[in-house]
């Protein structure tokens, strides 16, 4: 069980650039064409 847990985090650590890139692309695509763009990612939770 512990080996699976450690292995998972090792995999995530090794693939962190890919994961970050995919997450950034997803966030950018959500707000393309909106008047405030990426600023909505901050405004929405505050409101």
Report the candidate in 4, 45, 41 with the shortest Cα–Cα distance to residue 23: 41
Which pLDDT score, from 0 to 100, does residue 47 have? Answer: 78
Which pLDDT score, from 0 to 100, does residue 29 have? Answer: 86
> Against a cut of 0.75, is the pTM above it?
no
Q: Find tokens 């939770």 and name the residue.
A: 45
Which pLDDT score, from 0 to 100, does residue 25 have? Answer: 92
Which pLDDT score, from 0 to 100, does residue 6 have? Answer: 92
Query: What domain range includes position 11?
Result: 2-46
Which pLDDT score, from 0 to 100, does residue 12 have? Answer: 96
Q: How many domains does one find in the chain?
A: 1
Which pLDDT score, from 0 to 100, does residue 44 have? Answer: 80
* Low pLDDT (below 70) residues in the chain: none
């Amino acid at each position: 069980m512990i080996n699976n847990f450690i292995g998972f985090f090792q995999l995530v650590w090794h693939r962190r650039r890919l994961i970050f890139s995919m997450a950034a692309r997803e966030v950018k695509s959500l707000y393309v064409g909106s008047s405030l763009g990426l600023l909505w990612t901050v405004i929405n939770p505050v409101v």
